[in-house]
Structure 1
Amino acid sequence: MQPPESIVPYVIETTPRGERGMDIWSRLLRERIIFIGTPIDDVVANSVVAQLLLLKTEDPDKEIQLFINSPGGSIYAGLAIYDTMQYIQQESSLRIRTTCFGAASSFGAVLLMAGSKGSRFALPNSTVIIHQPTSPGRGGQASDIEIEAREILRLRSRLNDIMASHTGQPLDKVAKDVDRDFFMTAEQALEYGIIDEVIDLPVVRPGSATEGSTEPDDESSS
């Protein structure tokens, strides 16, 4: 889902009918790239689901790229995106490549791990955070609080099952890890099974920025 309109960049395209402006997110959608760069609510979920379904309809065999930098949000909205991702992957040979840049937290992390196996990535300075669902704490009558508590426990159990399924971690380990905020670097997310690869980027050495050169990361030098 795109950021607020006030900061949406536009690109100019030259067509046989002349030049035209297009917001960057629509332009990227033409390249089968979807961004989730905000908290996840119903508006974001509806937009992402619509884009996923559109791209599946246009070409059910061509990969979709989903870039994630999100603190998470509504569990129900997140599950709508998650279920759609699973649906279109099962209905066709279409693969969904997920990439974390910045941070994938809460349901953002769930969507990251829900990409096609072998196609889940993170940039090297990314952060991944998993935790249990939290109650909005609306209060009310005791019976209402009890009903809400049962629903939170149901969602927690379901999310634990999802995370265990996509990471290969034992269910009891996942349940323990999400009891509090569980922070991971990109490398730790790789070890945990949330992603399949950390994207390798050149490391800028001291002085190289002014010299205009970069060197590959070499663990033998420090």
Structure 2
Amino acid sequence: MAIATTTSSSSLTIRLLHPNPNTNPAPRSLQLLRCHGVSKAARACVRDDLVVPRSPYFPVDSAAGQERGPSPMVMERFQSVVSQLFQHRIIRCGGPVEDDMANIIVAQLLYLDAIDPTKDIIMYVNSPGGSVTAGMAIFDTMKHIRPDVSTVCIGLAASMGAFLLSAGTKGKRYSLPNSRIMIHQPLGGAQGQETDLEIQANEMLHHKANLNGYLAYHTGQPLDKINVDTDRDYFMSAKEAKEYGLIDGVIMNPLKALQPLPASS
């Protein structure tokens, strides 16, 4: 069986072509399954509910423009592991901070808050940073929900990743011993007319002042020191991050990270 698509200025049609006209058509359920072979754009036009959101956990092949997804068996096992962790109120902030990742984490935080507001949530952070607005969506949700959010750095927490690490509930912010933490000022660029450049520059200054103010509050450091330290990339070890106030402890015993944490009063 083949799939043919025809398009016009106002519609798109998908026809299932059977090699033998006397052959009975495939069941409707099978036809829907086989429709997954068409492009994402075509599926979006025909059935919105068949479009699966792109996962932030697997990169996109820039050359082909498609996700380098794993085999179905590996994907199933990965989803099973993530699901098991989620049942234990453990979520993952891994990879660049962008809108898709933020939407997933926000939904997970809201769901865990709804089912039990008395139990802590543990968020593992391994991120080089990314979008300020996407990160602030996660940050605001962490502060909005009722459970305490314990943050644990594994690998690297840089830029917005370090900000989210420090935004965990005070007394419940941790790092593994060989992790690296880095803070700096927001990065960005703009082009256009002079007025447009001024608007973008003011927006960057707003984000810088906002983030540095929160970092001063989370760490207990003077705002002037935060402004100086974030002027360039400022890398820290786990021990140095604890002394700086970004985290509250370094996990030397791996089992400690899996122990239930009591909610703060």
Indicate the TM-score class for this superposition, using the shorter chain for normalisation: 0.7 to 0.9
Residue in 2 that maps onto 1:3: 57
Match of residue 174 from structure 2: 121
Q: Deviations over 1:22-54 (max 9, x none)?
A: 532122111111001110111110000000000
Q: CA deviation at 1:95?
A: 1.1
Match in the other structure for 1:17: none
Distance 1:6 1:178 in 2: 38
Q: Which amino acid aligns with 1:36?
A: C
Aligned-residue offset at 1:116: 0.7
1:175 is paired with a residue of what secondary structure?
A: helix
Q: 1:48 aligns with which of 105, 115, 122?
A: 105
Identity across the alignment (%): 49
Secondary structure of the corresponding residue to residue 194 of structure 1: coil
Q: Which residue of 2 aligns with 1:165?
A: 217
Distance 1:72 1:22 in 2: 24
Normalised by the length of structure 1, the TM-score is: 0.81
Matches within 5 A, 1:1-222: 3-4=57-58, 5-6=69-70, 10-11=76-77, 22-88=79-145, 92=146, 94-135=147-188, 137-201=189-253
Q: Which amino acid aligns with 1:44?
A: M
Larger radius of gyration: 2
Q: Offset at 1:200?
A: 1.0
Cα distance, 1:22–1:37 mapped onto 2, change above 3 Å: closer
The amino acid across from 1:106 in the alignment is S
Q: Which has the higher contact order (CA 8 A, sep 6+)?
A: 1
What CA distance in whole angstroms lies between the structure 1 residues aligned with 2:198 and 2:80?
A: 46
Q: Is the 8 A contact 1:132 1:179 kept in 2?
A: yes
Instruction: Give the total of aligned pairs.
Output: 188
Say what the alpha-carbon RMSD is for the aligned residues: 1.7
Runs of 4+ in 1 over 6 A off after TM superposition: none
Q: Write the distance in 2 (CA, Å) between the matches of 1:28 and 1:167.
A: 29
Q: Which amino acid aligns with 1:6?
A: P
CA distance 1:2–1:42, shift in 2 (3 Å): closer
Distance 1:198 1:126 in 2: 10
State the Cα distance separating 1:2 from its structure 2 match.
5.5
Shift of residue 142, structure 1, vs aligned partner? 1.0
Q: For residue 3 of structure 1, what is the amino acid of its counterpart?
A: Y
Query: Under a length normalisation based on structure 2, what TM-score does the superposition of the two structures give?
Result: 0.68
Query: Distance between the aligned counterparts of 1:38 and 1:192, measured in 2?
Result: 24
SS at match of 2:70: helix
Which amino acid is the alignment partner of residue 156 of structure 2?
A
* Partner SS for 1:40: coil
Gaps spanning 5+ residues in structure 2: where? 1-54, 59-68, 255-265
Distance 1:2 1:34 in 2: 13
